[in-house]
Amino acid sequence: MADQNPCVLIVDDDPAVGLVLAALLGQDGINCLQAASVPQALALLQANPVDAVITDLQMPGRSGIDLLQESLKRWPDVPVILLTAHGTVEVAVDAMKKGAADFLLKPFDREEILFTVRKQIMAARHEDGVPAEVAAPGVRSPSPSMAEVEEIIGRAARTTTTVLLRGESGTGKEIAARRIHELGPRKHAPFMKILYTALPDNLIESELFGYEKGAFTGAASRKPGRVELAAGGTLFLDEIGDVTPALQVKLLRLLQDREFERLGGTETLKSTARILAATHQPLEDMIKQKTFREDLFYRLSVLPIWIPPLRARPEDIVALARTFAQQFGAANGRDGLTIERSGLATLQAHPWPGNVRELQNLVERLVVLSDGDVLTATDIERELARTRGVESVASTDAPGTTLDASRKEAELRALRTALERCGNNRSMAARVLGIGRRTLYNRLREFEIE
């Protein structure tokens, strides 16, 4: 966990429930904010860095599902845990399929609350500042290599074949997985994702396969895992190369026999989920080093799809940049925003080590931090320099200024500019700067910006 204590927002119209939950979490070093309604919760989320939300499912006016849907739109990196009575478990499970992180049953168990909240905080903080992989759905790629990828995706979507998506980080492997799901006959069934790097080893198995009551301290009731929640749909195993050897054995069984057991259970269950996996790791080298099972590799790689890096398809840079400029321009009240020709040439000359993700972040930052109806080459060069963290060392007035001091000065200017252009909307400013909300708040505190 990070040095700073985590913060959880508790939303319940019953003040007694909020007080009890806050006391339980507070004993474990977790700070709590409380709201009695969805509007109050949204106001607190807007004004404060929150690591997780616990919300009652049924409340007067807007419900916990309403809060979940709004939170997913505005703060997708903040996990939402639903608090529900036994009679609404089916509703809670359905909400998980729609994006809720987990659910807790009333009356709640102290150990289960702590286990569930800590698990979600660890996952969220691991991904702090790392946006989900992105591409631009609906953009027709002029690149021959991507046209071939699209054709394979279309063919894969019509089958139930296991697919292994490969390529560098940020190339759009998750987007490709979602396209396979949405173009196929399972598009109305759940799409469940599990990211192995987001959770510690001791939690991954319970997250994937679920657990029985009493399986471990904090397991106060039976919980379905991602495999069960993906029944009839698609299970996406992201960063499969990071799976531990012990879990590799269980995944091999899942792929080979379509069978699994919940943690602490003895009943053998059947899986009806289609398996998609992704990795940027060199699995062939890992097999030689005995860190990845060869038999699991062949089970996963029935149909491998390689997503080429952005530098290998420069034809896509212009189309993607224009699309992102239109999308972010419209979202920020700047319809019709364009990129000048020399600016597009500057973008094409950049190596894009962060691939499509890096391009998307840059264009969003440009939209917020630039003026006028056209993004210029000067604008783009300025933001690329700022990204590298060496902005305008030569322009520093004081001779002999250290590089570290220049970087801090550039960071302070970037923070103030982002906040000003975003109307002091800190969530938007964090996204524009390519960092997580908690990282932004830490920087603001460091620079004593109110």
For strand 259-260 and strand 269-270, is the pairing parallel, antiparallel, or unpaired?
Answer: antiparallel
**Nearest 5°: phi and psi at 100?**
-65, 145
**Residue range of the domain that includes 294:** 144-307
Q: Which of 126, 152, 177 corresponds to the end of one domain?
A: 126
Contact in structure between 61 and 38 (CB atoms under 8 Å): yes
Instruction: Looking at the structure, tell me whether residues 151 and 297 fall in a common domain.
Output: yes
| Residues belonging to the chain | 450
Strands, sheet with 31-35, edge to edge from the N-terminal-most edge strand: 31-35, 7-11, 52-56, 80-85, 102-106
Three-state secondary structure call for residue 235: strand
Q: Quote the pLDDT of residue 4.
A: 66
Q: Which residues pair with 235 in a beta bridge?
A: 192, 275
Q: Which residues pair with 306 in a beta bridge?
A: 166
Could you tell me which of 70, 6, 5, 76 has the C-alpha nearest to residue 37?
70
CATH of the domain at 69: 3.40.50.2300
Instruction: Looking at the structure, tell me whether residues 64 and 196 fall in a common domain.
Output: no
For strand 210-211 and strand 191-195, is the pairing parallel, antiparallel, or unpaired?
Answer: unpaired
* Enclosing H/E stretch for 295: helix 294-300
Instruction: Looking at the structure, tell me whether residues 381 and 263 fall in a common domain.
Output: no
Instruction: Looking at the structure, tell me whether residues 115 and 76 fall in a common domain.
Output: yes
Q: Which of 286, 307, 328 corresponds to the end of one domain?
A: 307
The 10 Å Cβ neighbour count of residue 45 is 23
The 10 Å Cβ neighbour count of residue 187 is 14
**Nearest 5°: phi and psi at 181?**
-65, -45
Q: Is residue 112 a part of any domain in this protein?
A: yes
Q: Is residue 196 a part of any domain in this protein?
A: yes
For strand 223-224 and strand 210-211, is the pairing parallel, antiparallel, or unpaired?
Answer: antiparallel
* Token pair belonging to 144: 């021959």
Q: Which of 307, 335, 354 corresponds to the end of one domain?
A: 307
Q: Quote the pLDDT of residue 92.
A: 74
Instruction: Looking at the structure, tell me whether residues 59 and 120 fall in a common domain.
Output: yes
Contact in structure between 402 and 335 (CB atoms under 8 Å): no
* Token pair belonging to 258: 């379509």
**Nearest 5°: phi and psi at 106?**
-90, 140
Global confidence as pTM: 0.74
Contacts of 218 (CB under 8 A, 6+ apart): 109, 111, 112, 114, 115, 116
Instruction: Looking at the structure, tell me whether residues 153 and 295 fall in a common domain.
Output: yes
Q: Quote the pLDDT of residue 315.
A: 85
Q: Quote the pLDDT of residue 125.
A: 64
The 10 Å Cβ neighbour count of residue 13 is 15
Instruction: Looking at the structure, tell me whether residues 321 and 297 fall in a common domain.
Output: no
Q: Quote the pLDDT of residue 317.
A: 92
DSSP 186: T
Instruction: Looking at the structure, tell me whether residues 107 and 219 fall in a common domain.
Output: no
The Cα 266–Cα 197 span in angstroms is 28
Q: Is the peptide bond before 107 cis (omega within 30 degrees of 0)?
A: yes
Q: Quote the pLDDT of residue 406.
A: 59
Residuewise pLDDT in 10s, the chain (450 residues): 344 688 999 999 999 999 999 999 999 899 999 999 999 999 999 888 899 999 999 899 999 999 999 999 888 889 999 998 766 667 877 888 888 988 888 877 788 888 889 888 877 765 433 333 444 445 567 788 888 999 999 999 999 999 999 999 989 899 899 999 999 999 988 899 988 777 777 788 988 999 998 888 878 788 889 999 999 999 999 999 999 999 999 999 999 999 999 999 999 999 999 999 999 999 999 999 999 999 999 999 999 999 999 988 888 999 899 999 998 898 888 888 999 999 999 999 999 998 998 999 899 999 988 888 999 999 999 888 876 654 343 344 444 455 566 567 767 877 887 787 777 777 777 766 767 677 777 778 888 886
Instruction: Looking at the structure, tell me whether residues 248 and 369 fall in a common domain.
Output: no
Instruction: Looking at the structure, tell me whether residues 287 and 423 fall in a common domain.
Output: no
Instruction: Looking at the structure, tell me whether residues 332 and 203 fall in a common domain.
Output: no
Q: Which residues pair with 305 in a beta bridge?
A: 165
The Cα 240–Cα 184 span in angstroms is 23
Contact in structure between 324 and 364 (CB atoms under 8 Å): yes
Question: DSSP of 328-352, one letter per residue?
Answer: HHHHTT-TT-EE-HHHHHHHHHS--
Instruction: Looking at the structure, tell me whether residues 195 and 117 fall in a common domain.
Output: no
The Cα 329–Cα 373 span in angstroms is 9
CATH of the domain at 302: 3.40.50.300
**Nearest 5°: phi and psi at 412?**
-60, -45
214: left (phi over 0), alpha (psi -120 to 50) or beta: left
* Token pair belonging to 40: 């109050």
